[in-house]
Structure 1
């Protein structure tokens, strides 16, 4: 895949964390990256990757990302990793300098999805509705998507809606967030409306 030269341009507003550098690959500066999704197309299609050091903290925002580096070539490796050659990273020592960094890509670089296909990052933050007595009811908000090997699983933070879409999380006796885990399969999740940030399912309210 052709890339762009490394740069110091401002970070775009639509950056998404898509993986982590696990180490160098070979002696010519290639990197080995662990994608966060089983579909690594977001990594493979992005012309530049942004790197954030592990000690910079995730709560500091994308403005703290170190820099963008153009991707000269990338490919799948071993079924679980992406290996890539980056602009200006010419030897193993330079590649080792990025080990442990998180990798970010612009959402605009993601390929279009097919019918009934979704990027996990787009599902996070959706309001999740189940059923109570045969009627739709708000259960909570999706805050993470997991992979159990067979299919994706939605982690739904339980809570209530208040005011203008405000979300009040439910807490247990120890003050910890309460979650429900729902298989992301058509048998349970019947409708996904990304524009409305809403998902409808048959998941029972008391589960």
Structure 2
């Protein structure tokens, strides 16, 4: 179980080379910034790593993680997500949000009717979408995370006010 004060900032895609280097997928807006958020932890917090950037790679970064010295050790970490303490992350402007802060928020329409709960945030290259789950609904609602479709995000109240397009 992850602690609420930790945020997922990357994932290990596997070994790179034979010296224990790993290919890292960074979830940061500026991928190289991930090294500034070290130490990075496994999701369960059982291991922590200092991170040293070695080179940019196609679809990722080549990094050395402390304590990982062989290709076999690096391969064993494939798929492991890396987390940092929330306090290590920069503060965001009022109109920007960490995905982790949106997941679990209640979503209501402009009339106050409950639409569901944010289960995930996706980005397939054309902007963010909120995946909203509602009991009794066969499919999740995918709502564009734009100012027009989501005029209000109130983290303190734990809710989002949405104005979904008519065709949703």
Normalising by structure 2, what TM-score?
Answer: 0.81
The 3-state SS of whatever aligns with 2:112 is strand
2:59 paired with 1:68: no
Deviation at 1:12, TM superposition (A): 5.7
1:1-207 → structure 2 map (5 Å cutoff): 14-36=5-27, 40=31, 43-51=34-42, 62=44, 65-71=45-51, 73-74=52-53, 77-78=56-57, 80-131=59-110, 135-158=111-134, 169-172=135-138, 178-203=139-164, 207=168
Distance 1:12 1:140 in 2: 24
Distance 2:81 2:161 in 1: 33
Which runs of 5 or more residues in structure 1 are unaligned? 1-10, 53-61, 159-168, 173-177
The 3-state SS of whatever aligns with 1:195 is coil
The 3-state SS of whatever aligns with 2:156 is coil
Normalising by structure 1, what TM-score?
Answer: 0.68
The 3-state SS of whatever aligns with 2:77 is coil
Higher strand share: 1
Figure out how many residues of one structure are paired with residues of the other and give that number: 167
Rg larger for = 1
In structure 2, the CA distance between the partners of 1:23 and 1:112, relative to structure 1 (3 Å rule), is same
In structure 2, the CA distance between the partners of 1:196 and 1:83, relative to structure 1 (3 Å rule), is farther
Deviation at 1:37, TM superposition (A): 5.9
Deviation at 1:154, TM superposition (A): 0.2
Which runs of 5 or more residues in structure 2 are unaligned? none
The 3-state SS of whatever aligns with 1:136 is coil
In structure 2, the CA distance between the partners of 1:30 and 1:154, relative to structure 1 (3 Å rule), is same
Deviation at 1:69, TM superposition (A): 1.9
Q: Is the 8 A contact 1:21 1:102 kept in 2?
A: yes
The 3-state SS of whatever aligns with 2:131 is strand
**RMSD across aligned positions (CA):** 2.8
Deviations 1:82-122, CA, capped at 9 Å, x for gaps = 33212222333332232232222222222221231111111
